[in-house]
Chain A
Amino acid sequence: MASNSDLGSEEFETFSSTSDVELLKRAWRNEKAAPEILQYEGALVERAKGQIELVEANIEDYVEDGTDPLIVSLYQMDLDRTQFLLRSYLRVRLLKIEKFMFHNLKSEEAESRLSEQEKVFAKRCADDLAKHFEESVLLKLPENYQSVLKQSLISETDDMVPEPHLDTFVVCKSNDFVSLNLYEEGESPETVEMERGDLYFIRYKIVKGAIESGKIDLI
């Protein structure tokens, strides 16, 4: 028979441990699975960086004072795993910034979720791309069609800016009992209630707030 401790080990972990690696893994998973860019976990990234540097220094010391190579290699493996998480987290974000660069700069809300370095990156990317489009195509078109952001001058909105598709569906797991409103204003109200550990395919907009508050994780 499967004992409870076997089945629940993962849940136990997310519940009882709040180690930075666990938090980083959660941030990484959420970021990978969410259609739009999420709030930058600045403090967490700084802590993880600090710990990585510390372990790097420790490993150098171990090598110098002749610690058992087995132990050194185990510490190295742990370090590699944390570094992978951090790198992958930052890279997913860069990928999303590139994909939605004009949107990220246009919407104040989206821009506020970027780190300072990411803002600089997004700005430079957008400037370079705009310059490239203008030099290679746009400036050779009739005047009405020269905007990077609009199809033509009669467009009232910036209709050439790719935006994240928020009506998409994601897979989520709840960490807690959550009751969510399924429908938007003007529709008949209907809620979904999730128990801890429940898995759902759900529309991203519905769980957006619960992800930010940490009640729900994307998978």
Chain B
Amino acid sequence: MTDVTVTAASDIEVDREALDASIAEFAGKNADYYAAAFHKIHESSGLMPQTFNLAAALLGPIWAAMRGVWGFFWGFLLLEMIAWVQIGRGAWGDLGADAFERAERQRERAAGFLDRAEQARQAGEDPARFETLAANLQKAADNSQAAADAAQAEALTILLFGLGLLLIFKLAQGVWSNVVYEKQYSAWRIEPDKTEAGVKSRNLLLGIALVLTIAPLTVYKFTVGESPEILDSFPAEKDHYVATASWLEARIDAAATGGAGAFDSIVAGVRSVLDALTIALIGTPWPVVMAVICVVAWRAAGPRVAIFTAASLAYVAFLGYWEISMETVALVGAAVIICVVIGIPCGIWFGKSKRAYSFAEPVLDLMQTLPAFVYLIPIIAFFGTGNPPGILATIIFGMPPVIRLTALGMRGVPDNIKEAATAFGATRWQLLKDVEVPLALPSIMTGVNQTILMCLSMVVIISLIGGGGLGKVILEALQYAAKGPGLLGGIAILLCAMVIDRIVQGGFRQK
């Protein structure tokens, strides 16, 4: 232990020298000024320390760039530009230009009518009609001229407003800059390698270049009435779009024809799962199915859920949605079964192999974030329309949670338990079967539940590509704006979802 003399907190003195040396190392140029400013900030206990950085006020964003305070740079570059645009509009913006032009035009036309009135008089006709027209036009021209004058007069106000804004922003920068710079100094003390410090000419040049490219163009575009078209819209080439789109279309068509066999067998596989479920749910007499569902609800989640289930089934049945609801359940069930059968092994693999997971993660992200409408199109191209393609679309959306949560659960298995099993001679298969999967099971179950809910939420969307079930009812109601049928069908979907969710959650909780 080193010897430490204990000093009362009130007697501890600030070691200015060490601090100043550190600040000098950070600030580089003008170290003395920043040491004094930071000192003031450190001494201050008020809301806003009273320091004023003249360089920051005058140079503005350039100062921030030079010192590498980039957040400050962008913020005040934007604010100063607002002020400069106002100043520009006021100073050379030609505010009444369009009104003035109109006045000119009207005056010309009035003069034209006066000429016609003169000609008519010479020809011995009645010039009164032309004279009235000319007088009206002259009046309109006067109005336009007045508007133009008013706008011109307003220019001064705008100019003053812009100057005021600029002054406020400059003051703000002067007052605030040292505070922000002190924060950067504190950050620099923690991570000297990753924080900008001192004055760097590279930063200064970058800052000037940014200001020069951004500010003049923007101010020009906002203050000049007629800016060149190149500044208004990006010179996009329509041909590129057409060519790319048709190229893609050809590729997709070729792939669809080329892989027709593979795609058809996938559809056949999905259809067989769906058919099995459909036979079980619709082929079986409805009293049997209803009774089985209620009993399952009772066993899995208790009497309250069973009563709720019975009530929901009654609603569905009495409104004639029975068969179509069971079709929905079969669709969701088939999607969930396929998700689980593929997803859990994938999750186990991704949980064990970091490399595999790093490849899979962007794909999973894509599957979840891509709007369903986008992949409905290729699905139609490859798999056609109807229930099986609908199930495939559902799988794309529904599979990520079970994969992710299985992988998460696998990674969460404590290493020491795995090590113990290995130390007692377990093979990899025994380790997986006896330790990893049982310990990951709660997470896997959460994943399955999430997947079920995600699949349910796809029910309506897949009706767009010919999927049946309750989604079709909603879609039809939507097409004819049929409020009643739409609402009844919506409630039926809601009840189906709630019943499935309650039963599944209850079942998992028991384990």
The answer to whether A and B assemble together is: no
B interface residues, Cβ below 8 angstroms from A: none
A contact residues vs B (CB 8 Å cutoff): none
